[in-house]
Amino acid sequence: MAAGCWALARILGFVAAMLTSGSAEAFSKIPLTELQHLSNALQTTDSPGNTTATATFNTHDITLVAKNHENATVTLFLSGDLEACVNFTFTYDPNDPTIEPLDDFTLCPHDGGSEGEARSWREDAVAPSQNPLPQNLSLEVVSRRVGKTVLGVKADPAVVDVTDAFVRVAVIHDPVLNVISDVFGWTYSIIWDISFLPQRGGFQLDNVTLNILAYLCYSLFNVAFFAVPYIQNQFHARYPRQVNHVRPNDVFFATYALFIEVVLGIQCCIYYREPGQVVSKTCWVLVAGSLLSIVVACVLAAENIIWWLDVFYLMSYLKLGITPLKYIPQLYVNYRHKSTAGFSMVGLLMDFTGGVLSLAQMFMLSANNDDWISVFNNFSKFGLGVITIIFDLMFFFQHYYFHLRKPSLLL
Asked whether the predicted pLDDT for residue 130 surpasses 50, the reply is yes
Percent of the residues in the chain that have a pLDDT greater than 70, as a whole number: 77
Q: For residue range 144-161, list pLDDT tens digits in order.
A: 999 999 999 999 999 999
Percent of the residues in the chain that have a pLDDT greater than 90, as a whole number: 49
Asked whether the predicted pLDDT for residue 272 surpasses 80, the reply is no
Amino acid at 84: A
300 pLDDT tier (thresholds 50, 70, 90):
very high
Top-level CATH class of 51-172? mainly beta
CA distance 58 to 76: 7
Length of the chain: 411
CA distances from 239 to 18, 40, 143, 235 (A): 17, 20, 21, 6
Name the CA radius of gyration of the chain, rounded.
27
The residue-averaged pLDDT of 263-271 equals 85
Burial class (CB in 10 A: 0-12, 13-18, 19+), 279: middle
CA pseudo-torsion sign 338, 342, 343, 346 = positive
Q: Looking at residue 267, what is its pLDDT?
A: 85
**22-26, 235-239, 334-338, 347-351, range with the lowest pLDDT:** 22-26
The residue-averaged pLDDT of 316-326 equals 92
Q: Looking at residue 294, what is its pLDDT?
A: 96
Output 75 or 12, whichever has higher pLDDT.
75
Is the Cβ–Cβ distance between 228 and 164 less than 8 Å? no
The per-residue DSSP string of 42-91 comes to HHHHTSTT---EEEEES-SEEEEETTTT-EEEEEEEEEE--SS-EEEEEE
Q: Looking at residue 280, what is its pLDDT?
A: 87
Q: Looking at residue 401, what is its pLDDT?
A: 81
**104-113, 260-269, 362-371, range with the lowest pLDDT:** 104-113
User: 41: which residues sit within 8 A by CB, 6+ positions away?
Assistant: 1, 3, 4, 5, 7
CA distances from 317 to 147, 246, 256, 323, 383 (A): 28, 15, 19, 10, 9
Nearest CA among 48, 64, 16, 280 for reference residue 167: 64
| pTM beyond 0.85 | no
CA distance 97 to 148: 8
Q: Looking at residue 278, what is its pLDDT?
A: 82
Nearest CA among 329, 325, 330 for reference residue 286: 325
CATH 2.60.40.10 placement within the chain: 51-172
Q: Looking at residue 13, what is its pLDDT?
A: 52
Nearest CA among 55, 62, 30 for reference residue 234: 30
The residue-averaged pLDDT of 56-62 equals 93
The per-residue DSSP string of 182-233 comes to HHHHHHHHHHHHHTTS---TT--HHHHHHHHHHHHHHHHHHHHHHH-HHHHH
DSSP class of residue 102?
P
The residue-averaged pLDDT of 205-209 equals 84
Output 403 or 37, whichever has higher pLDDT.
403
Nearest CA among 61, 10, 41, 4 for reference residue 161: 41
CA distances from 389 to 1, 124, 250, 327, 386 (A): 53, 59, 18, 11, 5
CA distance 180 to 187: 11
Output 256 or 9, whichever has higher pLDDT.
256
β 71-80/135-142 pair status: antiparallel
CB atoms inside a 10 Å sphere around CB 203: 12
CA distance 279 to 143: 57
Nearest CA among 127, 62, 114, 116 for reference residue 88: 127
Q: Looking at residue 127, what is its pLDDT?
A: 45
Is the Cβ–Cβ distance between 88 and 105 less than 8 Å? yes
Kindly report the average pLDDT of the chain as a whole number.
81
User: 275: which residues sit within 8 A by CB, 6+ positions away?
Assistant: none
